[in-house]
Structure 1
Amino acid sequence: MAYNSFMSDHQNQHVDTLKKCINRGVKSMAVFGLSGSAQSYFFSEVLADLDRPCLVILPERKDAERLYKELQFFMGGSETGDGSPALRLHQFFSYDMSPLTGLSPHRELITRRIRALYALTSDNNPVVITSVEALCFRIIPKESLLNSLEYFETGEEVDRELFLRGLEINGYQRTSLVEERGDYSVRGGVIDIFSPLYPLPVRLEFWGDRLESIRQFDPISQRSMNQSKEMILLPAGEIVMDEPNISRARSMGRLPRQPEDGMGFPGQEAWLNHFYPHLDTLLEYLPENGIITFIDPNRMESEGLKIEKRFHKDEEKFREESAGKGAPFPDIDGVFVPFSEMTQQFEGYQRIELAELNLGKEGEPGKATGDMGSQKTIEIRGHFQLEVDLEVRLAKKGRVSMAPFANRIASWLQDRSRVIITCSTEQQANRLKEILANYDLHVAGIARGWDKVPETPGLTLCLGRLPQGFTWPDMGLYVVSEDEIFGPKRAMRRQKKRVRKGGLSWSSFSQLKAGDLVVHEDHGIGRYGGLLAMEIAHKMNDFILVEYANNSRLYIPADRVSILQKYAGAGEGNPRLDQLGGYSWSITKQKAKKSVRKIARQLVELYALRKYRKGHAFSPPDHYYREFESTFEHEETDDQIKAIEDVLDDLASEQPMDRLICGDVGFGKTEVAIRAAFKIVADGKQVAFLVPTTVLAEQHFETFKKRFAPYSIEVGVLSRFKTRAQQTEVIGRLRSGRINVLIGTHRILQKDVKFADVGLLIIDEEQRFGVRQKETLKKYRALWMCWP
Structure 2
Amino acid sequence: MRSTRKLELSSLSFQEIPAQYFVEGFHKEAFIVKQLQEVSELQFVITSTEAELHSLYKNLCFLLPNRPIYTYIQEDENPWAILRFLKTLETASPETIFLLSIHHLRIAPSASSYKSNQTSITPNYSFPISVENFMLQKGYKPSLIVEGPGQFSIKAGVLDFFSPQNSTPTRCELFGDTVTALFSLDVDSQITMQSLLQETLWNKKSPIDNAETLLNYFPKNSCIWNFCPLNEINNELSSGHKNQNIIYLNQNSLHSQKLVEIPSSGKNLKTFTQKIKQKNILEKKVYLKEQIKKWNNKNIQIVLSSEKHSQSVEIKNLFLDINIPVSELESFSDISEEAVCIIQKPISCSFILEQEKLVLLKAQDLLSVKNIKSLRPQEQLKLQLGSISIDSLNPGDLVTHIQHGVGRYLGLKFMTISSQEMEFIHLEYKDKEQLYIPVYKINSIKKYIGNTSILDKLGNNKWQHTKTQVKKRLQDISFELLELYAQRKSLQRPAFTPSKELYKNVSAGFPYKETKDQAKAINSVLSDLLSTTPMDRLICGDVGFGKTEVAVRACARAIENNKQVAILVPTTVLAFQHHKHFFERLNPFSVQVETLNRFVPLKKQKEVIAQLKTGQVDVLIGTHKLLNNQLEYKKLGLLIIDEEQKFGVKHKEKIKHLKKNIDTLTLSATPIPRTLNFSLLGLKDINLIQTPPQNRLSIRTFINSYNKNIIKEAIQQEMQRGGQIFFLHNKVKNIELVSSEIKELVPTAKVAFAHGQLPENQLEQSMLDFANKKTDILVCTTIIESGLDIPNANTLIINNAHLFGLSQLYQIRGRVGRSNHRAYCYLLIPPQQNIDEKALERLHSIRDNTKLGSGIYIAQKDLELRGAGDLLGEEQSGTLNAIGYELYLELLEEAINQAKSNQTLKKQNKSISNITSDIEPDIYLPYPCLIPQNYISDIRTRLYYYKKISSIQSINDMDFLEDELRNNFCKPPVEVYNLMGLILIKNCAKTAGILSVSLKNTSLNLKITNNSPCAEQLIALIQKQPEKYQLSKSDLVKIEITNTQWEVVYQALQKLMSVD
TM-score by length of 2: 0.38
